Amino acid sequence: MILLDGSALNIALPAIERDVHGSMAALQWVVTIYTIPLAGILLTAGSISDRWGARRLFVSSLAAFTAASLLCALSPNLTVLVVARFLQGIAAGGLLPTTLAIIARTYPDPLERAKAITVWGATGGLALVAGPLGGGALTELLGWRSIFLINVPVGLVTLHLAQRYAGETPRRESRAADLPGQLTGIVALSAIVSYLIEGGSLGWFAPVPLLLLAVSVVTAVAFVAVEARSQHPMLPLAVFRRSAFSASITNGFAFQFGGYGLQFMLAIYLQQRWGLSAEKTGVYFLPFGVAWVFGTIVLNRRLVHRGPRFLLWSGALSSFIGSVLLLGVTDQNTWLLFAIGTGLTGLGCGVFSPSLNAAALLAIDPAYAGLGSGVLNTARQVGMAMGVALLGSLIGMHDILFGLRLSVVLVAVCFFAIIALSVRFVPRKETA
């Protein structure tokens, strides 16, 4: 549900614009207002799940996410929709770290855990298929509100399954809450994501974005100082001394910037430059989504015994080649190149994205599984916010074709960085 909303919403943006009469900058807020609280509270949620129990936090967050989805579907205007999306983001911040923490505790064997995380990643791939295609069809047939309404029955079923079948995770020994660390971390992450959003629409050196950037820098420095001196830090800085963990965090940022930023940017390009409807745009994204699912469900599962390093660099290589091919996309006559380029990119993302989570969890103490998942997902969400903001502003340039090519170059650089970091720092095999 967390990923489905984003991928489907990208396709529905023009329909929402017609319905609520909002500007493109306002519509970008509908997408990214979800990301601000999500990125801001992930670290805190990861730490809480280790202390409070991942299942307990998961159930409460899922109930809140389902209720917020219903509010999105019933929103009478843009203001209510933005508020509802903000509430969705808060709830999603409690969901993401707990899912991986539950998997990490349920499957102590590294190889079995890697297989379970592959299944976890496959749900994201399915969301990428169902999002553009299903989102386009739902928007055309039932309206954009149906994108959010569909979360309600799914959420209720999942609540039942979690309460009946998911076991509670062991809790870390309770210690004093690191309130200064939590507050400075939330403010720093929220401010940097807000800067990325406002900078993309107002200009990177406009007064408001610069103020947000200054706030993020000051609070980030304060966060590091607090965590370095705290007896019970929310985020022990020592975890970053493990090069494999730090590389996985950086890879997570690069993946989300490239994979999701590319999807957002191309969805806008197809509808504005090619004049496609939401439904047809979803069809054009089929190679991307189907290849992603195939890479996750088939290739990753068959190659998981090769270890995370191989899966990371080989998958990122496919995505790099696919993004380079997209440099040749111009008008609808280049649809075949678009299909091949997005297909290769999606295939690579499907192969390597589950291994990002496996590599990060392998490199951290199991007692901090929730926190490690929180750090990884924070980096991923900040990467997605930056990708949406920066690539969205580039595709909005007067010369939209130049903006497309510049965006694709940035995406290709991200995938190349994953190749380099994985070869250099990530272990060859799964280890206990």
* pLDDT tens sequence for the chain (432 residues): 887 776 677 677 777 777 776 665 667 678 778 877 877 777 777 777 777 788 889 999 999 999 999 999 898 888 888 899 999 989 988 887 788 778 877 787 877 877 787 777 777 667 766 776 677 777 778 888 888 888 899 899 999 988 887 777 666 655 556 778 878 888 887 788 778 777 766 777 899 989 999 999 999 999 899 888 887 777 778 778 888 888 989 999 999 899 888 888 898 888 888 888 767 887 888 898 889 888 988 888 788 778 888 999 999 999 999 999 999 998 888 999 999 999 999 999 989 888 887 788 777 776 666 677 778 877 887 888 788 778 877 887 778 889 899 999 999 999 999 999 999 988 776 543
CA separation for the pair 261, 427 (Å, rounded):
28
Where in the sequence is the domain holding 16, given as residue range(s)? 1-174
Same domain, 301 and 377: yes
Same domain, 164 and 182: no
Q: How confident is the model at residue 432, as a pLDDT? A: 38
Same domain, 197 and 153: no
CA separation for the pair 110, 107 (Å, rounded):
7
Same domain, 197 and 280: no
Same domain, 169 and 290: no
Choosing from 174, 196, 224, the residue where a domain stops is 174
CA-CA-CA-CA torsion for 348, 350, 352, 354, nearest 10 degrees? Answer: 170
Same domain, 139 and 260: no
CATH number of the CATH domain containing 30? 1.20.1250.20
Q: How confident is the model at residue 6, as a pLDDT? A: 67
Same domain, 273 and 168: no
In the structure encoding, which two tokens stand for residue 49, read together?
């799940």
Choosing from 189, 208, 233, the residue where a domain stops is 233
CA separation for the pair 418, 257 (Å, rounded):
12
Same domain, 193 and 133: no
Same domain, 205 and 249: no
Same domain, 39 and 62: yes
- The closest alpha carbon to 190, from 42, 4, 346, belongs to 42
Whole-Å CA distances, 72 to 135, 159, 200, 340: 15, 19, 25, 35
Cβ-based neighbour number of residue 72 at 10 Å: 25
Same domain, 18 and 146: yes
Q: How confident is the model at residue 177, as a pLDDT? A: 63
In the structure encoding, which two tokens stand for residue 98, read together?
């707990």
CA separation for the pair 111, 121 (Å, rounded):
15
- Alpha-helix residue ranges (DSSP H) falling in 230-307: 243-272, 278-284, 286-294, 301-303
Q: How confident is the model at residue 431, as a pLDDT? A: 44
What pTM, to 2 d.p., does this model score? 0.74
Same domain, 131 and 50: yes
The answer to whether the CB of 415 falls within 8 A of the CB of 348 is yes
- The closest alpha carbon to 358, from 310, 321, 320, 317, belongs to 310
Choosing from 174, 194, 216, the residue where a domain stops is 174
Please count the structural domains in the chain: 3
Q: Is 77 helix (H, G, I), strand (E, B) or coil?
A: coil
